[in-house]
Amino acid sequence: MEKRKLGKSNLAVSALGFGCMGLSFGYGPAVDKQHGTAVIRAAVERGVTFFDTAEVYGPFTNEELVGEALAPIRDQVAIATKFGFKIENGKQAGLDSRPEHIKEVAEQSLKRLQTDRIDLFYQHRVDAEVPIEDVAGAVKDLIEAGKVKHFGLSEAGAQTIRRAHKVQPVTALQSEYSLWWREPEREIMPTLEELGIGFVPFSPLGKGFLTGAISKDTQFDTSDFRNVVPRFSKENRDANQAVVDVIAEFAKQKKATPAQIALAWLLAQKSWIVPIPGTTKLHRLEENLGAVNVELSREDLRALETAASKIPVQGARYPESLQKLVGR
């Protein structure tokens, strides 16, 4: 698979990464370790070299799974993980990006990941209580100590990115971006381009919706995060089906699947974009990775964007409590 550099950094990774969260957390029951390991190793065999996890996925179990699965081939891959949440009694309990906490989390993540360095260490959400300069300074210390290679931010606003970048160059921003969430194009992407920062879109398939496999009648598991996402209410899924229909129409023309078109569209936006679709299924992994072979011409992209932009997407992408933590 072709490699891409994240911004001006020397971090070169496969054009498509793998988001590991769903193997342990967020989208229903966790898979067993054997299955999770098989999926991660299948991704490696197919050329994926970039794996994304976080201490809070589980919490902790996802990092353990990723560490164990990648240990035999650690030097062939890049591992990204994240800090910034307080975890009490196995649950998220607010934010905590105090420098001393960041350093503690790094030590614990290194153990769980069975490694001596974290390739990309993201602040998971901006903590309004801690100046971003202090956060960047703490990661800079970890980089100087050889424990971290690159600094990243997640869901940060443009001014925060600029302030952090002055203290310790930011290698990548991870935020949601897809054909049904294009808000980053307004301010975030021009900022990243100007500063030479890579972009790692999560939920590049709209939390599964853009694959066409979810309808208004789909029943999610009780532990599935999408149950509380306004965009996934039954009525909104029904209304938003129009977006999937547009993508499916293009997929037919290109002899591809809707998921492949959605990912190919992202890959065509900028050479420094590396989406991280996740899945628990081997056939979906194969399908997603097939997106790198789908070519969309300028005319294709224009037609797809024009058709999609005529459809107003219904529902917020986060419930109110989580929406407050993004774009800071």
- pLDDT tens digits, one per residue of 247-269: 999 999 999 999 999 999 999 99
pLDDT tens-digit series, residues 25-42 = 999 999 999 999 999 999
Instruction: Give the mean pLDDT of the chain.
Output: 97
> Using one digit for the tens of pLDDT, what is the confidence trace for 81-134?
999 999 999 999 999 999 999 999 999 999 999 999 999 999 999 999 999 999
Q: Which of 266, 262, 211 is nearest to 237 (CA)?
A: 211
The CATH superfamily label for domain 3-323 reads NADP-dependent oxidoreductase domain (3.20.20.100)
307 CB burial (10 A radius; 0-12, 13-18, 19+) = middle
State residue 20's pLDDT score: 98
What share of the chain has pLDDT > 90, as a percent?
100
Verify whether residue 27 is a known catalytic residue.
no
pLDDT at residue 217, rounded to an integer: 96
pLDDT in tens, 264-317: 999 999 999 999 999 999 999 999 999 999 999 999 999 999 999 999 999 999
Q: Which residue has the tokens 């209580």?
A: 129
**Exposed e or buried b for every residue in 201-236, given b needs 16+ CB within 10 A?**
bbbbbbbbbbbbebeeeeeeeeebbbeebebbbeeb
Q: For the chain, give every domain's residue range.
A: 3-323
CB 32 within 8 A of CB 45: no
What pLDDT does 168 receive?
98
- Dist CA 124 CA 131 (whole Å): 15
Contacts of residue 255, defined as CB under 8 A and 6 or more positions apart, other chains included, come to: none
For residue 64, what are the contacts with CB-CB under 8 A and spacing of at least 6? Answer: 58, 112
Name the active-site residue from 27, 57, 122, 177: 57
Q: Calculate mean pLDDT across residues 151-170.
A: 98
